[in-house]
Amino acid sequence: RSIQGEATRAGSPCTFVRLAGCNLRCAWCDTPYAFHEGATRSIDDVVEEVERYGCGLVEITGGEPLLQPDARLLMERLLASGHTVLLETGGHVNLESVPPGVVTIMDIKCPGSGEAHRVDWTNLERLTRKDEAKFVIRDRQDYEYARGVVERHALAGRVGAVLFSPVHGVLDPRDLVAWVLADHLPVRVQVQVHKYIWGADKRGV
């Protein structure tokens, strides 16, 4: 249990369920331990622990959570118990299995990640006004790429929020803000709040 560090609910108390395993290797990944660490647990066990925290907001994250075959069942159980459920996904796994009540935060990979070629573009058609699209931006090239995607796919009218996030410690947020303002983009600049509170390498926050 911590606070949400990103997206439109930044600052809100939130319980995180981090699922292990990812088949991407983004250059700026800040959770490489999720590639291999973790323990096998039952859905009942996970839901019971979430309930003990007494927090209405829950985020399923990873790794890439949709690689877990029981991720849908976990999300359904959490929704049924009255939680608001967020899903943080890399956007390369088909979103068809995501329950309708879940808020999907889709990370659209930019060239600086090294994984831009892996995006499943059909997933954009599955996003709705309750969902959010996120771009993690490393440099001006990434920014121009993200701007092009936002414009070509009319993302601002498709999702509830389009998020531009500078790679922490690499791109100065002030530069990103200047670019967004100069281009009058309908996006929200966000920083990873938890890294400013606890530091970039702190786990479990």
8 A C-beta contact, residue 58 and residue 50 = yes
Walk along the chain (205 residues) and give the pLDDT tens digit of each residue.
Answer: 999 988 999 999 999 999 999 988 999 887 788 788 888 999 999 999 999 999 999 999 998 999 999 999 999 999 999 999 999 999 999 999 999 999 999 999 999 999 999 999 999 999 999 999 999 999 999 999 999 999 999 999 999 999 999 999 999 999 999 999 999 999 999 998 887 888 777 777 7
**Phi then psi dihedrals of residue 86, to 5 deg:** -105, 145
pLDDT score of 28: 83
* This prediction's pTM: 0.93
pLDDT at 54: 94
